[in-house]
Structure 1
Amino acid sequence: MIPSPTTPRAFSCACGRPVFFRNSQCLACGRPLGYDAARGLLIALEPAPGRSGKGGWRQAGVPPRRARRYVRCANLDTAAACNWLLEPDEAQAGKTLCRCCRLTRTVPDLTQPNADVWWNRIEQAKRRLVSSLIGLELPVRPKTEDERGIAFDLLLAPPEGPGVITGHADGVITLDASEADDARREERRGSLGEPYRTLLGHLRHETGHYYWQLLVEPSHWIESCRVLFGDERQDYGEALQRHYASGPPADWGLHFVSAYASAHPWEDWAETWAHYLHLADTLDTARSFGLDGERVELSYERFGADTVADAGDADAAGFLQLINSWMELTGVLNELSRSMGVADFYPFVLSRPAVRKLHLVHRIIHDKTSR
């Protein structure tokens, strides 16, 4: 039996036709669609007139007395093209943006060429990220409403500079919005010798730094992280300078999920966090459509209980099923990519030390006591 996805990705309109996470309208029947983040569902909508005359929306096909009332995000009609819904309490509090759009503190300078297109692409990636974080029951609160929350500044360098540096600082994630330009991003990927570079990958990586501060730094997990990832108190600036000057160690693949992860323990954590979100969301998507690595006709040497035996995790079997399903699924997806003549779907090889780090990320994400 295929496990149920944590964050579902397969949906149907009220007319019975399939619709997808990013859709705002059913192409078959024309019904408007909206994403209910609290329930992890994309639903068909119908008008729900209110006593005040302001109207609203409710789920199509549900008896009016049982249907909750929604407001569509105000960014539906902007370049962001958001298809998320506001909950009744959010609308009653005077909010006009959904919980995902409220995380964006600064939008790109829309007077610059292509800025509206790039903003749209970034918000598409951010909505997928945030829906996964909500599905994993991680705290996702706007910094404007909670000082321990998160904010995204999507910036474009002015024509005469200086450039924008993507990074994280105390809950604020800055993203160079020009990363949404496919040609520029591919050029940077090639110049840096990276096998993989995407908007979603950037966002997942930078949220890793945020959740380190929120879930690891003030918790009992800090010592466990120092054992596996190293002591993060070593000089960060010097470590990055050394990495860019000399490159990763020759044997980085035996210890890290990526070459950049070898630069500093913080980057090792953030890269591992991003890879965990890659596998969690991809497996959720596959399972939503009836696919799972356990059913793939491909024989791999599976990671056994000895890989994480010293972790003290009573539920290690659940993680091992997850990682082994991932390895088998990506093996097939890589072959499918090669059949199309494109780059591998997952161009990485996971070593046992890297899997142990992924296991620790898994445990911290599912530890409710560290929230």
Structure 2
Amino acid sequence: MKIFQCGYCAHSLYFECYTCENCGHLAGFRDEDRTMLTFDPQGDTLISDREQKEYKYCKNKEYNVCNWVVEKDSPEEFCQACQLNRTIPNLSDAENFEKWQNLEVAKHRLIYQLQKIGLDLKSKLDNKEGFCFDFVVQKHDPKLMTGHANGVITILLKEADSVLREQMRRQLMEPYRTLIGHLRHEVGHYFWDRLIYNNKRLLKQYRLLFGNERVNYGDSLKKYYKDGAPENWQESFISKYATSHSWEDWAETWAHYLHIMDMLETAYFFGLNVRPVDMHEAMKENMKVNVTFDPYTVEDFDIIVETCIPLSFAVNSINRAMGVPDVYPFVITPDMVKKMKFIHKLLLPQRVKKVRTESSSRKKKSTIKDLGKDTTTSN
């Protein structure tokens, strides 16, 4: 995630900010170019501080679950992230409302990342090949589970309860269980359908790395929950659950690929460097890292891995100093790198297309701006 600034006073803003804590100006995220706009709180309309252009908030702003904006004349009432919602919980229940807020924070961060990659984010509400989110309470249907089916990503509301989520993490002996982790995992299933399913060449490569997805899924899960993961699962899989079936290996690997990319993007925008002291010289060299690149612009995934490992060790060490769990409690093996390389290469054309589109858009805006300049001179 990049760093955002107030357009009025240049104070730093978080992605989820509704106002600038320094000057009080309203804040709103424009996803078209991943820019945080700010507005005079005394104004009758949302006129951006930088561009003097009028916007409106996504309709979900009234629930304080979305700070994204759309152009004033847009026929859309919801931003692109909120257009993906098919089902939200009953908001008359205060507990439901708080959990939904937490889910929306994670979902908006997911959409930011998918947009940055350049993936096509069609809403299933308008396009049968798109995807959507159902945020639901399980008590109304005990059979409901968090998962993905035909573009519908279902997330149980209880996953937004930090206490219950921690209990589930311990019960399932998972080192990591977060809302954004769930969302990244489930959307990975959707993009397997979109990117791989109908491509024979990619399917062949996929099966060499992740196994045969045609193996019965239900039987595989039953076996996993009965027998658990193989003894040496750490050598080839990012998690125990990834061993249950080819599709789950893919979704788990996809999610961790997104974790790494987001972590490095954030480190890049903060200009983080790791320069250890008081270490043996040989080890010190292995731990040195300078995050000087946006990972979404890097073609060679080895560079990303070589940067991620010492960075995650440093961040994990800071967390341990504060008595909280590791940010990234995983060990990346060569087999896992091969799988993530496959995903990185798969998504590269999407990123190139996105960069070209954004570059063309910036040039167009620049031309329009130049044409609109007042060329009159005075004597």
What range is the shorter-chain TM-score in? 0.7 to 0.9
- Measured on the aligned residues, the alpha-carbon RMSD in Å equals 2.4
Whether 2:56 is the aligned partner of 1:59: answer: no
Alignment correspondent of 2:217:
236
Whether 2:202 is the aligned partner of 1:217: answer: no
Taking structure 2 as the reference length, the TM-score comes to 0.83
The counterpart of 1:168, out of the listed 131, 144, 148, is 148
The counterpart of 1:360, out of the listed 312, 331, 342, is 342
| Aligned length in residues | 338
Whether 2:58 is the aligned partner of 1:77: answer: no
Shift of 1:343: 1.1
Taking structure 1 as the reference length, the TM-score comes to 0.85
Which protein is richer in helix relative to its size? 2
Aligned amino acid, residue 18 of structure 1: S
Aligned amino acid, residue 125 of structure 1: A
What is the 5 A alignment of 1:102-251? 102-158=83-139, 162-219=142-199, 220-251=201-232
Structure 2 CA distance for partners of 1:130 and 1:316, relative to 1, 3 Å: closer
Aligned amino acid, residue 278 of structure 1: H
Alignment correspondent of 2:330:
348
Alignment correspondent of 2:2:
8
Structure 2 CA distance for partners of 1:252 and 1:361, relative to 1, 3 Å: same
SS in 2 for 1:71: strand
Alignment correspondent of 1:310:
none
- The separation in 2 between residues aligned to 1:178 and 1:18, in whole angstroms, is 33
Alignment correspondent of 1:331:
313
Shift of 1:57: 2.4
Structure 2 CA distance for partners of 1:28 and 1:203, relative to 1, 3 Å: same
Shift of 1:8: 2.1
Deviations 1:223-253 (A, max 9, x none): 1111100110100001111111100001000
Radius of gyration: which is bigger?
2
- The separation in 2 between residues aligned to 1:98 and 1:317, in whole angstroms, is 31
Structure 1 residue ranges without an equivalent (≥5): 1-6, 50-54, 303-314
Whether 2:262 is the aligned partner of 1:277: answer: no
8 Å Cα contact 1:154-1:177 kept in structure 2: yes
- The separation in 2 between residues aligned to 1:48 and 1:135, in whole angstroms, is 33
Alignment correspondent of 1:3:
none
Alignment correspondent of 2:357:
none
Structure 2 residue ranges without an equivalent (≥5): 278-283, 289-296, 354-379
- The separation in 2 between residues aligned to 1:136 and 1:369, in whole angstroms, is 5
- The separation in 2 between residues aligned to 1:58 and 1:282, in whole angstroms, is 33
- The separation in 1 between residues aligned to 2:276 and 2:60, in whole angstroms, is 40
Runs of 4 or more consecutive aligned structure 1 residues displaced over 6 Å after TM superposition:
none
Aligned amino acid, residue 320 of structure 2: R
